[in-house]
Structure 1
Amino acid sequence: MRLREQVSSLMAWLRERGLVMPLAIVAAVLMLTVTEGGYQRTRASLEAATEAAQARLALYRLLGLVTRAESAKRGYLLSSRREYLQPYIEAVRDIESEISALQRRMNSSGLHEEPELSAIEQELIERLRMKMDEMHEVLVRFDRQDVRGAMDLMLTDIGLRNMEQIRALADQLIERSNQRIAQRVGRMYDAMLFLRLGILALVIASLLALAQYMRQSRALAAQRAEQQRVVQAERDLLEIEVRRRTADLLDLSWHLQHAREDERSRLARELHDELGALLTAAKLDAARIRPKLADAPPEVHERLKHLTQTLNSGIALKRRIIEDLRPSSLSNLGLLPALEILGHEFAESAGLEVRMMLSPGLVLDAGAQLTAYRMMQEALTNVAKYAHAKSVEVELVADGPMARLTVQDDGIGFDAAQVGGRSSHGLTGMRYRVESEGGLFELDAAPGRGTRLVAWLPRRDPEVAAPASMTPPPLPPAAT
């Protein structure tokens, strides 16, 4: 545990100073150097051992060839048959080639680097040549019919001493070759051990690096999980705050709308009571004055007539203002007749075709009725200003526990995704007004295929249960 902490602190120290990558490169280069050096040493040792083994085999072959030549010579001397000379001739010829091969092997294996071994090799070659000369001289005398001379030369100790010297010298070279092979094999094992230690060090370093990486990965994963938890907590708090602010805005919108409608109602009453009484009294006074001015000049009658018309215009303006502030048709006749009157008046003033499809029997709260009326009023105003439409379709039908009000035109439309700024305040006001009454609002518009406004408002129907969630049904395609 303490070693791991020390390694972790060391890695942190190296990482802070930007030394991790340079050290990794140095370690990789060092490992490549170690492995390459070990490979080269192993290869050199293996080649030297192979050459020494080949030199040893060459010595064994030389001894075998000399023995073969000696046997063939003795067989020929004993039998006088020429077929015994063929093995002798082949053996003598191979001895020369094996002597050359032996010199090359001795040189390649490094045995020539030792003066003593070089002297032994030279003496061995000289002894081999002397043995070959001795065998050749015996055969020459025998072929000359000097059988006694040949036998005397063969029975002397010269050939025996040469052969013993050849075996002794060959044994020395073979022993030194075995020692050189053992030495090279030892070096090869040392190089392999060095490689094993290097690979072991690399494996240990890799395992430590992997452990450190996994530890850091777990730490990073834990840190990311903590950050995600914090972000999620902040997001949840933000969503709660957004919902609270949205609810506050809806409450404020509802309060402002109701305050505005109350103010409009108050103004409408004051206009109806105060201004209406004043205008009516002025009109009655003008009517009483008319008989008393029968003998007045014509211009007085013209002025009186103009005054009466002005009073009538004022009374009509007062009525229009009162209707705009608080539609009396909605209060006196109900929602459906009020919508029909609004549609007919708009058709006459705008010169458009207005098709009304209103389902009878729908009952809404007073606030919802006023919201539906204001939405249709605002929608028709927008059609007159911007739509360039030829016809408008208004539909009010029951849709489950809700009443669906649709206002659709066949005008130029607009891109609903780019609605924003001051030009969209009317639509935004509609949305908040509908939502403040517990309903839903939807806008469907596109360039070239008109505009459709849909609002779902709660119905006041005791036989229909309140909905669990107000999700609007899919809208039919807009008219083009």
Structure 2
Amino acid sequence: MKWTQLRRMAISLPVAIFAACLMIGISEYGNKQTSQSLSNLAHAYDTRTALSTLTKEMLDAETGLRGYLLTSDENYLKPYNEAIQNISSTLQRIRQLIETTPQGMEFFIPMSHSISRKTAEMDLSLRLFREGNADALKFVMFTDMGNTDMSNIRELARKLDTLTAERAGRYQQDINSSLIMGRIGVATVTLFGLFAFYLYLRQNNMVDRLHKREQALLSEERSRLENLVRERTATLTELANHLQQVREDERGHLARELHDELGALLTAAKLDVARLKSRIDMGNPEIADRIKHMTETLNSGIALKRRIVEDLRPSSLANLGLSTSLEILTSEFAQRSGIEVEAIFEAVELPEATELTIYRLVQESLTNIGKYAKASQIQVTVHRYPTYVAVQIKDNGEGFDLASIRPNSHGLAGMRHRVEAAGGRLTINSALGAGTTVSAIIPTGATPAEAITAI
């Protein structure tokens, strides 16, 4: 009996030692590879975050400067000055993050040059405005250099972000590979361990308990990661909703400023023209033509101001209600585009945010149809049900393949996010040559879960 035990030990002990050494080696190798990949992944995410911050700072600077030039309100210079101060440090941070990547530097260098030109152009505009040099300011503002530089900045930042995202994907694949290797190694070592324990102790029950313990740990880790993903998703959704609300607030503020300030200026100019018309000799054909042309120009400016204000924040939505606002929107679209629009709107009473969501959905859909669909007929309907409102925009245009929608189709993604933020659901049905139908289901007053159950 003792000889048998010694023989089993002579076989199982080397196997156990080999299994232990193999486990240590695989664990150390996997830990090293995973740590390196995680470090690289964090580096990539830091780069993307810095790029997002840089884009936001450029937008803050441009928006703040435009607000100041339109209103002369010093409060608009606060975000502009803060953004200008932070742009250099953000650029330096991006350079430090990508200086080891030659391909990234190919995008970074022209992007930094475009940023320098854009900031210099904004600084020149601000200086000319403060000096009261209106002619030079108009020349600077109506050149296309600033817009070209801003477009280059967005495009290069997007390319750099795409390059960084690809690198992050590769690092993620490395992590997955390390985890797979670790799992394979653990499985191999487990087999060796089971074999050694079978030969030496035959303690299958102990092996089962160890296996169950590992499963419990994996399940616990999986639950923790799922909770973390849910928390991050909720945070990002809340941030997106906040940014959307901020955008609408800014559009509303800009609309009010244009309506009050620019409207007052145009009205005063029109009154001055009317006063001049009553005091000068209108029998002179040249003077009469000049006065007529001036009046028509002011009327066109007032109409343009009204259209811009309505696009920024439809006043009819607050004053006349959703149905009337949609009737005005579809009627004006039909007049501009020459497309036949059939509108069927049932009277609904909804919160202001929900009404704005439906209005923007219809507005964006009509804009897309006018740009891409080549349609001759459009049907827009709004129907009210006990717990939800159904909105549908249907056209007989060329349609498109849903599978070919690019991930960067922000228009469709923006519509979907608006509807889902209101607790609703958006569906898009389209096929080549068969037109497109955009449908949305939005709850009226019930919770989103109740509305979807009722649907």
Question: What TM-score results when the alignment is normalised by the length of structure 1?
Answer: 0.51
Match of 2:324 in 1: 337
Aligned equivalents of 1:353, 1:419: Cα separation in 2: 27
Aligned equivalents of 1:8, 1:453: Cα separation in 2: 73
Evaluate the alpha carbon distance shift between residue 276 and residue 226 of structure 1 in structure 2; reply closer, same or farther with a 3 A threshold: same
Structure 2 spans left out of the alignment, 5+ residues: 20-194
Aligned equivalents of 1:242, 1:219: Cα separation in 2: 35
- Is contact 1:393-1:408 (8 Å) kept? yes
Q: Deviations over 1:198-243 (max 9, x none)?
A: xxxxxxxxxx999449969877766665554444333322322222
- Is contact 1:342-1:377 (8 Å) kept? yes
Match of 2:14 in 1: 13
Shift of 1:452: 2.3
Match of 1:269 in 2: 256
Shift of 1:426: 0.8
Identity fraction in percent: 46
Shift of 1:17: 6.4
The answer to whether the aligner puts 1:315 opposite 2:314 as a matched pair is no
- Is contact 1:250-1:435 (8 Å) kept? no
Q: What does 1:23-172 align with in structure 2 at a 5 Å threshold?
A: none
Q: How many residues align?
A: 279
Bigger Rg over Cα: 1
- Which of 456, 463, 472 is 2:441 aligned to? 456
Evaluate the alpha carbon distance shift between residue 402 and residue 227 of structure 1 in structure 2; reply closer, same or farther with a 3 A threshold: farther
Q: What does 1:310-459 align with in structure 2 at a 5 Å threshold?
A: 310-360=297-347, 362-422=348-408, 424-459=409-444
RMSD: 3.4
Match of 1:244 in 2: 231
- Which of 260, 278, 286 is 2:265 aligned to? 278
Aligned equivalents of 1:5, 1:440: Cα separation in 2: 71
Aligned equivalents of 2:391, 2:404: Cα separation in 1: 24
Evaluate the alpha carbon distance shift between residue 358 and residue 215 of structure 1 in structure 2; reply closer, same or farther with a 3 A threshold: farther
Aligned partner of 1:367: which letter?
Answer: A
Aligned partner of 1:322: which letter?
Answer: V
- Is contact 2:387-2:454 (8 Å) kept? no
Q: Deviations over 1:275-321 (max 9, x none)?
A: 11110011111111123220785433322222211111111100000
Aligned partner of 1:340: which letter?
Answer: E
Evaluate the alpha carbon distance shift between residue 399 and residue 292 of structure 1 in structure 2; reply closer, same or farther with a 3 A threshold: closer
Structure 1 spans left out of the alignment, 5+ residues: 19-207, 475-480
SS at match of 1:471: helix
Evaluate the alpha carbon distance shift between residue 238 and residue 390 of structure 1 in structure 2; reply closer, same or farther with a 3 A threshold: farther
Q: Deviations over 1:12-31 (max 9, x none)?
A: 5247769xxxxxxxxxxxxx
Evaluate the alpha carbon distance shift between residue 232 and residue 351 of structure 1 in structure 2; reply closer, same or farther with a 3 A threshold: farther
Aligned equivalents of 2:406, 2:204: Cα separation in 1: 46
Q: Deviations over 1:92-139 (max 9, x none)?
A: xxxxxxxxxxxxxxxxxxxxxxxxxxxxxxxxxxxxxxxxxxxxxxxx
Q: Deviations over 1:116-164 (max 9, x none)?
A: xxxxxxxxxxxxxxxxxxxxxxxxxxxxxxxxxxxxxxxxxxxxxxxxx
Aligned equivalents of 1:446, 1:231: Cα separation in 2: 45
Aligned partner of 1:303: which letter?
Answer: R
- Is contact 1:254-1:437 (8 Å) kept? no
Aligned partner of 1:13: which letter?
Answer: P
- Is contact 2:423-2:447 (8 Å) kept? no
- Is contact 2:339-2:376 (8 Å) kept? yes
- Which of 438, 446, 471 is 2:452 aligned to? 471
Match of 1:108 in 2: none
Evaluate the alpha carbon distance shift between residue 399 and residue 314 of structure 1 in structure 2; reply closer, same or farther with a 3 A threshold: same
Shift of 1:323: 0.7
Aligned partner of 2:417: which letter?
Answer: Y
